[in-house]
Amino acid sequence: MVAFTSAATASAATIVYLAHNGSEKANWVGIRLQFDGFCQCISGAVVASFIVAVFFMVLVVSTEE
């Protein structure tokens, strides 16, 4: 579960970065100006996924002792 959560968190962070800044090489523009509140909502989801990833890591370390 830690590996899956970490992978999902990294994927979400990458998508947020791409949506926020865009990619000049791929000719994509950032969508942060097109949707009101997009960055705030998605940033909250990414923060929550980081908290869950840390929780799972702590859970694994505490059960091994």
Burial 51-64 (b: 16+ CB within 10 A, else e): ebbeebeeeeeeee
Taking the C-alpha atoms of residue 6 and residue 51, their distance in angstroms, rounded to an integer, is 11
Rounded-to-integer distance, Cα 18 and Cα 22, Å: 5
- Domain spans of the chain? 2-64
**For 30-47, what is each residue's pLDDT tens digit?**
666 666 666 677 778 888
**Low-confidence residues of the chain, pLDDT below 50?**
none
Both structure tokens of 48:
């929550």
pLDDT at 40: 72
pTM passes above 0.75: no
